[in-house]
Structure 1
Amino acid sequence: MAAEESGGACLADRIEQLFRIVRRPNGDPHSNEEVARACREASGESFSATYLWQLRTGRRDNPTKRHLEALARFFEVPVAYFFEDGQSERIAEELALLGALRDAGVREVALRAVTLSPDGLGTISDMIEAIARREREAGTSRSA
């Protein structure tokens, strides 16, 4: 049981994070069946929607190397995402950024910022940090 609580939960969290952030082009989440079907085709092994649900919820924590490779291929992340904490954190940050860029308002600000000088970017960064700090203090941030 201890292995499920530590390693299983970590793997489950990482898989779940991929489902939360990596979406279809229209913004809808991928279904277990859709991902399992793609993984079956990629790995040539049995890979059911139920098995994927078990991995996502931590009820199973022992996928084969080929299963993880198929998941990594589907979500377009390196297989190391599932194992290496440093790599996982970096990839998770990149995925979070991609998720934020799906928001039209964030995307518009990012596209406008591309043309700014380093000084201009610094000023915008300072302003964003000041607003975020004020919202955290007031308890009105997006995550609140």
Structure 2
Amino acid sequence: MTDSESASISSLLDGLCHRPVNREGRYTNVELAALVRANGGEITHTYISQLRKGDKDNPTSRTIEDLAAALGVHPAYFLGGRCDRLPGEPAQWRRDGLRHLFATVHPSGRGPYTPEEVALAIGRDGRYGAISASYIRELLAGTSEKPRLKHILGLARHFGAPAAYFFDVVLAARIDAQLETHRVMENLGVNQVIMRAAEELPSLEVRRKVLVALARALRPEVSSDEAVEQALRSGAAEPGGHRT
């Protein structure tokens, strides 16, 4: 974990204790620990003090969830995400999120990363400590449900996702939709066309034919020629639009 990440965890928790969103007046470490335990969690006031001071910086996902519930915020808040928690919203470690990233995020032309590859990459990064391939398998299978913060950050960085993705179902839905779009575009060869077009801008006629072909493939039931022509005319008329 970088110094800035460590500071953000401690400062966020300390800030919520000084300025709670769910009550008037500050939380003492003893009061917060008692509230966590009353909600079914396990934490000591000493550990809370260590987290607030930055002496400890690697809580488990369960600790993050318990602190968030007691303080009336979303667990994602402690990982750079949103603060508000929607009524009835699940707000806990999402094993399915990790499984989805394994299934969908990998280099073009090959299959998913193996747990060994991910463990090696996180270890080489050096900022998030070591993680074993066997432990990653346990997280995927659900036999381990309480990853520590550094492991969460390392996994998120490897797959290029915000760490809050693993807790926030709303954010996850947006990212999963983007991943699905990227997957379809990759399978259709659209990404390659975009990259080639950026290197050498084709003529307007070529662009029209490409767009018509894509529109017909994606919506065969709709006459797409006129819609594509309108889009091209609109784009060409914008400031900086190219006419060839």
What is the TM-score of this pair, normalised by structure 1? 0.66
Q: Give the 3 Å change call, closer, same or farther, for CA 130–34 of structure 1 in structure 2.
A: same
Q: How many percent identity over aligned positions? A: 25
State the shift of 1:83 in Å. 1.0
2:116 corresponds to: 33
Q: Deviations over 1:11-46 (max 9, x none)?
A: 221111111111124322111100011122334423
1:135 corresponds to: none
State the shift of 1:96 in Å. 1.1
Mapped to 2, the partners of 1:106 and 1:89 lie a distance apart of 24
Q: Tell me, yes or no, if structure 1 residue 128 matches structure 2 residue 219.
A: yes
Q: Which has the higher helix share?
A: 1
State the shift of 1:49 in Å. 0.5
Q: Tell me, yes or no, if structure 1 residue 54 matches structure 2 residue 145.
A: no
Structure 2 unaligned regions, length at least 5? 1-61, 63-89, 198-206, 223-244
Task: Give the conservation status (yes or no) of the 8 Å contact 2:102–2:112.
Answer: yes
Task: Give the conservation status (yes or no) of the 8 Å contact 1:7–1:61.
Answer: no
- Of 172, 183, 203, 1:99 maps to 183
Larger radius of gyration: 2
Task: Give the conservation status (yes or no) of the 8 Å contact 2:95–2:166.
Answer: no
**Number of residue pairs aligned between Structure 1 and Structure 2:** 119
Helix, strand or coil for the counterpart of 1:102?
Answer: helix
Mapped to 2, the partners of 1:77 and 1:46 lie a distance apart of 19
State the shift of 1:129 in Å. 7.7
Q: Give the 3 Å change call, closer, same or farther, for CA 44–71 of structure 1 in structure 2.
A: closer
